[in-house]
Structure 1
Amino acid sequence: MTVVSRLPGAFEHEWNWQLRAACRTVSTDLFFTPLGERGPEREAREASAKEVCARCPVREACLRHALLAHETYGVWGGMTEDERERMFRASRRRRTAA
């Protein structure tokens, strides 16, 4: 679940990056997994979403948002929810080992 307390405040400058996002002209269906989608269909949809992200001028801000808010679903900043979760787990393991 998205951690709402970690979202930036209501300041417009915190959200303006979204206005320049390449995904604004694409259906959100491309970025979020439909119920029951698996295997090659999911991989193809995610690859298409990542293509949009690859040409996005605000990709880094988008990914930063997803990581800070712990966005649970969708492709954000060129990373799937599974890829982001693996990053979180690896980070936790490093902190625990230190």
Structure 2
Amino acid sequence: MSDVRRLPRPVTEVWDWQRNGLCRGRDSAQFFHPEGERGHARRRREENAKAICAGCPVRRECLRHALAVREPYGIWGGLGESDRHRLQAVAS
């Protein structure tokens, strides 16, 4: 579970970047795996989500947020769960 103490203050200038995300208005199932999803289906869904992130104007802000709150699930800023875990392990 995310550590809510790490979440930034809920003020417009902190959260406003989310309004410009290419994921905004899309089905969140594209970015978060359903229970039991594995193998080819999971890789394909993650590749599609990462492709959306690749062209997103707020990709860096999104990834920065996910790393700051240690977001445990989903594709954030173009990185999946295992990608972020590896990045955080290297940074530690």
TM-score (norm 1): 0.90
Q: Name the counterpart of 1:89.
A: 89
**Amino acid of the residue matched to residue 78 of structure 1?**
G
- Secondary structure of the corresponding residue to residue 23 of structure 2: helix
Q: CA RMSD in A?
A: 0.8
- 1:43-62 to structure 2, matched below 5 A, reads 43-62=43-62
Measure, in 1, the Cα distance between the counterparts of 2:33 and 2:10.
Answer: 28
Number of positions where the alignment pairs a residue of Structure 1 with one of Structure 2: 92
Q: Shift in Å at residue 86 of structure 1?
A: 1.0
**Amino acid of the residue matched to residue 57 of structure 1?**
P
Q: Shift in Å at residue 6 of structure 1?
A: 1.0
- 1:1-98 to structure 2, matched below 5 A, reads 1-92=1-92
- Runs of 4+ aligned structure 1 residues displaced above 2 Å come to none
**Amino acid of the residue matched to residue 64 of structure 1?**
R
Q: Which runs of 5+ in 2 are unaligned?
A: none
Q: Percent identity?
A: 47
**Amino acid of the residue matched to residue 22 of structure 1?**
L
Higher share of residues assigned helix: 1
Q: Which runs of 5+ in 1 are unaligned?
A: 93-98
Q: Shift in Å at residue 25 of structure 1?
A: 3.1
Larger deviation, residues 68-77 vs 5-14: 5-14
Q: Shift in Å at residue 65 of structure 1?
A: 0.2
